Amino acid sequence: MEPDPTPTPLPSDALTPGPDGHKSGYVALVGAPNVGKSTLLNRWLGTKLSIVSPRPSTTRNRVLGILTEEATEDDPGHQLVLLDTPGVVRPKYKLHQHMMRDVDRSLGDADVTVLMADATERELTHDARQAVERVQMSSAPVLLALNKIDKLGLVDEALPLVEVYTEALGRPADAVVPISAQHGRGTDALLELVLERIPLGPPYYPADQLSEHPERFFISEIIREAVFHQFRDEVPYATQVVVVTYEERPGRKDFVACDIVVERDSQKAILIGKGGRALKRLGQAAREEIEAFLGRGVFLQLFVKTRADWRDRDGHLREYGFGR
Ligand code: GDP
Ligand code: MG
């Protein structure tokens, strides 16, 4: 059986121009806990959602969701990769850049940053200040979204907060948008403003694969993350994960088989460990995460391969997003 590749972003040299007018880009969503980021995300993704990762925030940037609007006769379509950027500090920032090679965008080069604030607040909390500091690391246009306006009598009541943010940012935001993520007020307008700032480009992720097998993408991300937690030095950076089989079995646990592909036999030996212990530990940790993510039991099988073996054996590198 031909393995079904995880939707790894296409290598840049393989990118064909998208349909005329198609836009694609990265959107960083930044804000203190509880300002309503998840609520906004869910509203935006709505039924167009491929999937939202429900995992609690980790310390790194990660893909929260991918908003894909395929081209129609009236609309050239777009794809927005929504990034969460919790608690970025410099070293992890770098780590992230390596980890998310495929999504190797960080706040520093997101196309648009949405800075979200709680419109009912009058000054910056500690967390809000940190969010502002993160935004300052980016040169991308900043949209200040003042959320929870449904809790205000008049939208104007939030004006002093705009000044507080302008001062903290050291520049005015590109646009200030009062919204209620919960009630869906202003969220379409905010999305329009985001789209205006997204460049023309083809989709990063094949839309069909994402809509058919969104789980695969997130499973490979979870395993990669587990590799980062457990291994040091060059191993995580050399790791690619390919979900080879994903089988739902009614009445039984899902069956998931993945290849963990590294560059050298020495890395393979580290991943497997003495008597296979390291791999077993990795599998356990990843399985728990995957089960929490899918909300059901999973039988996870991991195989470690070196890239050379891989290449010799089947020469399907392009399909797996290698060969860059
Ligand atoms: P996050 O931590 O930034 O992801 O925030 P959440 O999306 O989890 O929202 C935190 C809380 O604020 C939840 O109880 C939401 O229901 C609430 N919330 C989010 N958006 C709004 C809004 O527009 N209006 C009101 N009144 N509550 C909101
Ligand atoms: Mg949240």
Question: Which listed ligand is nearest to 57 at the C-alpha?
Answer: 2
Q: Could you give the dihedral angle defined by the CA atoms of residues 160, 164, 170 and 171, in that order, rounded to the nearest 10 degrees?
A: -30
Return the amino acid letter for 135.
V
Tell me the pLDDT tens digit for each residue of 253-275. 999 999 999 989 999 999 999 99
Q: How far apart are CA 292 and CA 61, in angstroms?
A: 19
Q: Which residues pair with 260 in a beta bridge?
A: 241, 304
- Residue from 34, 45, 64, 116 to probe ligand 1 pocket by mutation (most atoms less than 8 Å from CB): 34
Q: 12-197, superfamily in CATH?
A: P-loop containing nucleotide triphosphate hydrolases (3.40.50.300)
Domain 215-319 -> CATH class: alpha beta
Ligand nearest to the CA of 181: 1
User: Does residue 214 register a pLDDT over 50?
Assistant: yes
DSSP-derived letter for residue 46 is G
Best residue for ligand 1 mutational test, from 182, 183, 187 (most atoms within 8 Å of Cβ): 182
Give domain limits for the chain. 12-197, 215-319
**3-class DSSP state of 273:** coil
What pLDDT digit, counting tens, does each position of 166-176 carry? 999 999 999 99
pLDDT reported for residue 313: 45
Average pLDDT over residues 12-23: 62
The pTM of this model reads 0.65
Name which residue leads in pLDDT, 38 or 21: 21
Report the range of poorest mean pLDDT among 177-186, 191-200, 293-302.
Answer: 293-302
31 lines ligand 1 (CB under 6 A): yes
